[in-house]
Amino acid sequence: MFESFIEGFLLVFQWPALGFLILGVLLGIWLGAVPGLGGILGLVILLPFTFGMEPVSAIALLLGMYAVTTSSDTIASVMLGIPGTAASQATILDGYPLAQQGKAARAFGAAFTVSAFGGVFGGLALAVSLPLVLPVILAFGSPELFMLGVLGLSMVGSLSGGSVLKGLTVALLGLLMATIGYSETGVPRYWFGSDYLIDGLPMIPVVLGFFAIPELMELAIKNVSISRIPKGQAGDGGILDGVKDAFRHWGLTLRCSFIGTYIGILPGLGASIVDWIAYGHAVQSAKDKTMFGKGDIRGVIAPESANNASKGGALIPTVAFGIPGSLGTAILMGALVIQDIKPGPEMLGSNLHITYSMVWTIIVANVLVAILLMFWSKQVAKIAFIRGHLIVPGVILFVFMGAWLGGASIGDWVTCLFMGIIGFIMKRGGWPRPPLVLALILGPILENAFQISLRTHQGYGWLEGPIVLIIMAMVILTLVFAVRGALKAKKNPDTEAVGEGSEKSPIISLPLSLALFVLFSWACLEATNWSSWTRQFPLAIAGLGAAITLIALLQDAKGVFEERRCATSWKTAIGQASNQAVLDKAVVFFGYLIAMVLMTLVVGQQIALCLFVAAYLWRWGGYGWRVSLSYTGGCGLFLYGFYDQIMHILWHPSWLFG
């Protein structure tokens, strides 16, 4: 085995494998940093280029690119509050507040250091665990996977906002949204007669609109930079400070790397929840929890070390048993088959040197990307001090084009815009957003595991399994600690709520509570028309959601009447809430985006995006024609050069130009 380990090392450092590895790392940095691209799209694009390549070179290109996207996705999470990929959702909770404090470089220093450690840890764990991991995988069947998903949802629902009740409600809303489209029995659900929804709600437009648009709108409305502190006044905010933080919290880094590796092993589930479980562990194991959600560096260290380690963990079932640990590893498994390498026992026998070349590829790629990003992050962090009006139009272009790459449908733009509106209302009304996205990812997995468990065990006997009971106890403890913390915060009025959902505005929240109660109630009635297996999961979700939302609705109504008592009249109370949420300017901003979507139907996407950029800079930003035209021209060239000539995307046909 040791000879194969050394042989794999030498294979990676031979030419041209090393060159392809470096090329993959550079491409991975770009794909991870741009919202909407990510490692999955990169694998799909690069896979055809590996035909005819040597196996080690092909693996170096694909795995080198894929392994580093969970490092470079930190850039969007920290700088913009947008998850660069699904693996960096938890990073935004403390990473973006650090950028707002002028400490983006510190967040980068810590994130890239622990990302390198997590990636190396995951690679070494892959090497060590291959002969030993079979009992772990076999111990997790459908019941255990279902309960582990519930644990992830309970953690994100309870740790991402000031209201546990609203966090759980949002998680249930995400699960309900995940049931849109064809069910496992082939019956379309909640599709409203739209062909666009019959295959399910697309993930990328939801995530980008939900997180990106509300944050960009805040920059536009307040006319501020990402950092709320002038350059030079942010103490202890340098890259070296972040590196020191990583070493200071080495125990947390090690524990979260372990969590990331061995939760990443679980096929189809680990990569979706690993960053949230690591973040939850960081919060629950901390003695001082007051800074989480405000810019606690531990909230960056935990998810970033875990999500990089999970890449090595996800490869373990792929290589050893031919069971993809995630969608990315499923594509990698296809690449191995194309190279006439069969995943399974052969990878631990005659092809063991190929397996260890994958281990070394992960290790080298993570170390290399950490070094490169350390050098570049100082320049990237300077973006935090640029005037917001210069950031908004360019990022809007990336957001909407990222949404378009998912399905090349105008419905993706409508979904992105609609979710942006919902995300804004939720943010202003005190509803945490992350639970919805995680639930949308986990929904199909949970429903499938739930139904298999019921059919296999002929009922609910699977709830008595030892691992299921242990995870169930963890779920209960998570909720108990969260409720206890919320009650403690209520008793101490000086304690400020932190993180997602910390804003308090009952007048803004009440209409959303009412709408959600109506939605869950309607979903219950609609589900009664389907067969028992088709309606089972959505009916349970909608029923529980309606009950919890009713409590939230009553709490919001109580809050509204309290605000009315503090104001002179209803008009004054509503006006104060509207001014606090900046609703008038928000309506104008959304008007710009709606106009852009409508213009797309008339003149096409490229012209509509350029018109939006020019109109925004000139009318909203107050820039002169030279700046507006130069910026617009650069955006137009990028749209044509990258998306049209390199990506060869299919543009939406317009009425004027076809």
pLDDT at 629: 93
pLDDT digits (tens, 9 = 90+) for 73-86: 788 888 877 776 66
Q: What is the pLDDT of residues 345-358, one digit of tens each?
A: 666 667 777 777 88
Q: What is the DSSP string of 519-536?
A: HHHHHHHHHTTS-HHHHH
pLDDT the model gives residue 136: 63
Per-residue confidence band for 614, with pLDDT thresholds at 50, 70 and 90: very high
- 544 band by pLDDT with thresholds 50, 70 and 90: very high
More reliable by pLDDT, 206 or 385: 206
Which is more confidently placed, 314 or 409?
Answer: 409
Pairwise CA distance, residues 292 & 94, whole Å:
7
* 3-state per-residue secondary structure call for 342-404: CCCHHHHCCCHHHHHHHHHHHHHHHHHHHHHHHHHHHHHHHHHHCCHHHHHHHHHHHHHHHHH
pLDDT tens profile 574-590: 888 888 878 888 899 99
d(CA 463, CA 482): 24
How high does pLDDT run on average in the chain? 81
**Domain boundaries defined on the chain:** 2-224+237-385+433-504
Give the pLDDT score at 114. 87
| Region 321-330 average pLDDT | 66
Could you give the C-alpha distances from 544 to 45, 168, 626, in angstroms and in order?
Answer: 42, 10, 56
**CB 52: neighbour CB atoms within 10 A?**
8
Label residue 613 by pLDDT band (50, 70, 90).
very high
Q: Map 84-127 to HEC letters.
A: CCHHHCCCHHHHHHHHHCCCHHHHHHHHHHHHHHHHHHHHHHHH
- Contacts of residue 532, defined as CB under 8 A and 6 or more positions apart, other chains included, come to none
For the CA atoms of the chain, what is the radius of gyration? 24
Digit-coded pLDDT (tens) for 353-404: 777 788 888 888 888 888 888 887 777 777 777 787 888 898 889 889 888 8
Using alpha carbons, select from 46, 70, 68, 72 the residue that is nearest to residue 57. Answer: 46
Distance CA 402, CA 399 (A): 5
> Does position 234 have pLDDT exceeding 60, yes or no?
no
HSE (CB half, 13 Å, CA atoms) of 231?
10
CA 476 to chain centre: 25
pLDDT at 228: 66
Contacts of 642 (CB under 8 A, 6+ apart): none
